[in-house]
């Protein structure tokens, strides 16, 4: 299991397992948060996190010291999720990405990007303050787009780390991020301004 | 002014993924382009908003306790693979033993399968030889003439029309001393079969022609049985077995002619 050796500040001293505790326990909140998002169910998420911990503990020998522990354990979480009931169900509905895009299943039909780009940012600003609405929009994202947004925005991972966690090329990470954000903006704007032409002037109510 | 910033650049900008030179170029453009600046702003607002909205679920306290307990248990009772430092190939002896056992199992299964296949083919062949000899002997013993009595291949072959689900050719030129006596419709291995009756001198020959059942093209290893010589050949569609008490060379001569007749005309 060769992780790319981007060195990030990780403590690396002491006997193996206590080192594992030191590394893994602080990540519990992050792992659990992403686990609930992915499995959409707190009980499944608990099982998922526990299984991830056990797998990581047993496989800790294969973890290369000095490399990125967070990316390593998130990859285990994600692979464990993929083989779980909810992961299988989610991935079964997700075929080839291009196919998805053609069928428009990456969330509700998007407004063409050009149209969004002409939109004034005030509209986004207003809607973005509505946390519940944004969360609802994230829930509607297809799993491949949701996970990339969670890793990038919430976990603040670098593109290279995301590529390692998801085991996809860097270019795919970038295109998924772009598509996820376009989809989010589209959903928020569709909600915000049903008749766009008439509403455009009064966007900063 | 250069072209507007692409959405890929705007995303990378919000995510802090632009290299030094890319960042400098983007900054330069943003300084003079309010449209891109507002898009860049919208992009980073979206990012920070999803970052806040995404932080939604906190682990229940009992989960943290349980995992900490698991981790400390694992620390006090390390599993064998953790206790032994990684040596050489980094694979525990248990792993190698299991791999070896698996390999052994696979090899023995493979050999067993090969052996069963071979013995089943051998018993099939032996069964065929016995059946062919029995039919030949029964034909010799019966006083009745063949169902179609003719030395003319143009009579014998059409006689099978509608009786057999396949067709075959009969050789025009037979070796000296060899004559066609007639033919019977019979059954071999539960399949309709043409039994061609020839005489080589005073020796009687039965040639059984039937449709090939398996795709196997390899020659059958046919043996002699009860003093009778058994030989045969296979074409793409037919399986032919000849039996007689005549000299094997002359029998092969006849089957050779029949085999030639099956080849498509040039």
Give residue-wise pLDDT tens across range B148-201: 888 888 888 888 888 888 888 888 888 888 888 889 998 888 888 999 999 888
B95 in contact with A, Cβ within 8 Å = no
A136 in contact with B, Cβ within 8 Å = no
**Residues in chain B within 8 Å Cβ distance of A178:** 7-8, 11
- Comparing CB atoms, the residue among A49, A131, A138 nearest residue B63 is A49
pLDDT of residue A100: 52
**What's the CA dihedral at B138, B139, B145, B151 to 10 degrees?**
180
Adjacent-strand bridge partners of B208 = B195, B241
CA distance B100 to chain A (A): 22
Q: How confident is the model at residue B220 (pLDDT cuts 50, 70, 90)?
A: low
CA distance A73 to chain B (A): 14
Residue B265 backbone dihedrals phi, psi, to 5 degrees: -65, 140
**Which one of A51, A181, A182 would you mutate to disrupt binding with B, by most B Cβ within 10 Å of its Cβ?**
A181
pLDDT of residue B37: 92
Q: What are the boundaries of each domain within chain A?
A: 16-90, 96-199
**Phi-psi region for residue A66, left (φ > 0), alpha (ψ -120 to 50) or beta?**
left
pLDDT of residue B216: 61
Interface of B with A in 32-71 (CB under 8 A): 38-39, 41-43, 45-60, 63-64, 66-68, 70-71
> Which listed CATH number (2.130.10.10, 3.10.20.10, 1.10.3720.10, 1.10.10.10) goes with A96-199?
1.10.10.10
Q: pTM for this one?
A: 0.52
Identify which has the larger pLDDT, B84 or A37.
A37
A159 in contact with B, Cβ within 8 Å = yes
Domains of chain B, earliest start first: 7-46 (no CATH), 117-262 (3.30.200.100)
**Residues in chain B within 8 Å Cβ distance of A158:** 17
Adjacent-strand bridge partners of B204 = B199
Q: Show pLDDT as tens, one digit a residue, over chain A (205 residues).
A: 444 444 444 444 444 556 888 888 899 999 999 999 999 989 999 999 999 999 998 888 888 887 889 999 999 999 999 888 878 777 766 654 545 554 444 444 444 444 444 455 544 455 667 888 899 999 999 899 999 999 999 999 999 999 999 999 999 999 999 999 999 988 887 655 544 444 444 444 3
Q: How many CA atoms lie within 13 A of A88 on its CB side?
A: 3
Pure H helices in chain A? 16-24, 28-39, 42-58, 69-82, 85-92, 97-103, 113-118, 121-128, 131-139, 143-149, 159-166, 170-192, 196-199
User: Strands of B148-149's sheet, edge to edge?
Assistant: B148-149, B178-188, B191-200, B203-211, B238-244, B229-234
What lies within 8 Å, CB to CB, of B256 at 6+ separation is none
Count of Cβ atoms closer than 10 Å to residue A150 Cβ:
25
pLDDT of residue A109: 44
**Phi-psi region for residue B227, left (φ > 0), alpha (ψ -120 to 50) or beta?**
left
d(CA A150, CA B151) in angstroms, rounded, equals 89
pLDDT of residue A160: 93
CATH class of the structural domain A16-90: mainly alpha
**Residues in chain B within 8 Å Cβ distance of A182:** 7
pLDDT of residue B13: 93
- Comparing CB atoms, the residue among B17, B60, B70 nearest residue A159 is B17
B6 in contact with A, Cβ within 8 Å = no
* CB atoms B71 and A53 under 8 Å: yes
What would you report as the CA-atom Rg of chain B, rounded to the nearest whole angstrom? 42
CA angle, A64 as apex, A61 and A66 as ends, to 5°?
Answer: 130
pLDDT of residue A94: 60
- Comparing CB atoms, the residue among B11, B49, B78 nearest residue A177 is B11
Q: Return the HEC string of chain B.
A: CCCCCCHHHHHHHHCCCCCHHHHHHHHHHHHHCHHHHHHHHHHHHHHHHHHHHHCCCCCCHHHHHHHHHHHHHHHHCCCHHHHCCCCCCCCCHHHHHHHHHHHHHHHHHHHHHHHHHHHHHHHHHHHHHHHHHHHHHHHHHCCCCCCEECCCHHHHHHHCCCCCCCCCCCCCCCCCCEEEEEEEEEEECCEEEEEEEEEECCEEEEEEEEECCCCCCCCCCCCCECCEEEEEEECCCEEEEEEECCCHHHHHHHHHHHHHHHCCCC
* CB atoms B12 and A174 under 8 Å: yes
B12 in contact with A, Cβ within 8 Å = yes
pLDDT of residue B64: 87
**Residues in chain B within 8 Å Cβ distance of A156:** 51
Q: How many CA atoms lie within 13 A of B148 on its CB side?
A: 22
**Residues in chain B within 8 Å Cβ distance of A57:** 70-71, 74
How much is the ipTM here? 0.73
Place of tokens 């003439």: B145
Q: Are A82 and A166 in contact (CB under 8 A)?
A: no
């Amino acid at each position: 299991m060769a992780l790319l050796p981007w060195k990030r500040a990780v403590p690396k001293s002491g006997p193996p397992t206590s080192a594992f505790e030191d590394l893994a326990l602080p990540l519990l909140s992050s792992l659990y948060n992403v686990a609930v998002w992915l499995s959409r169910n707190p009980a499944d998420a608990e099982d998922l996190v526990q299984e991830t911990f056990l797998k990581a503990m047993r496989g800790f020998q294969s973890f290369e010291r000095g490399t990125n522990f967070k990316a390593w354990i998130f990859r285990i979480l994600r692979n464990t999720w993929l083989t779980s009931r909810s992961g299988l169900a989610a991935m079964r509905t997700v075929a080839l990405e291009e196919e998805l895009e053609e069928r428009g299943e990456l969330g509700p039909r998007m407004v063409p990007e050009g149209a969004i780009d002409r939109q004034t940012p005030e509209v986004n600003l207003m809607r973005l303050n509505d946390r519940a609405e944004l969360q609802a929009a994230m829930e509607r994202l297809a799993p491949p787009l949701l996970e990339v947004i969670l890793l990038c925005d919430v976990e603040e991972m670098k593109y290279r780390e995301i590529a390692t966690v998801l085991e996809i090329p860097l270019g795919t990470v970038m295109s998924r991020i772009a598509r996820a954000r376009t989809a989010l903006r589209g959903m928020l704007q569709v909600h915000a301004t049903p008749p766009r032409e008439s509403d455009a002037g009064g966007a900063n109510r | 002014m250069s072209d507007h910033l692409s959405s890929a650049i705007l995303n990378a900008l919000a995510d802090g993924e632009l290299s030094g030179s890319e960042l400098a170029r983007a900054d330069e453009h943003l300084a003079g382009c309010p449209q891109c600046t507002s898009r860049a702003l919208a992009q980073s607002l979206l990012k920070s908003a999803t970052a806040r909205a995404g932080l939604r679920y906190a682990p229940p306290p009992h989960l943290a306790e349980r995992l900490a307990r698991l981790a400390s248990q694992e620390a006090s009772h390390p599993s064998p693979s953790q206790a032994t430092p990684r040596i050489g190939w980094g694979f525990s002896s248990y792993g190698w033993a299991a791999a070896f056992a698996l390999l052994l199992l696979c090899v023995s299964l493979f050999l067993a399968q090969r052996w069963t296949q071979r013995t089943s083919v051998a018993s099939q062949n032996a069964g065929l030889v016995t059946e062919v000899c029995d039919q030949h002997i029964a034909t010799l013993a019966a006083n009745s003439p063949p169902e179609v009595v003719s030395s003319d291949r143009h009579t014998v072959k059409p006689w099978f029309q509608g009786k057999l689900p396949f067709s075959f050719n009969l050789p025009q030129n037979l070796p000296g001393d060899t004559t066609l006596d007639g033919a019977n419709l019979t059954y071999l291995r539960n399949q309709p079969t043409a039994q061609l009756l020839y005489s080589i001198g005073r020796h009687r020959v039965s040639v059984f022609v039937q449709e090939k059942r398996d795709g196997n093209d390899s020659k059958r290893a046919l043996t002699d049985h009860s003093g009778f010589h058994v030989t045969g050949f296979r074409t793409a569609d037919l399986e032919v077995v000849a039996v007689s008490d005549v000299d094997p060379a002359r029998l092969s001569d006849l089957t050779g002619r029949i085999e030639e007749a099956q080849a498509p005309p040039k």
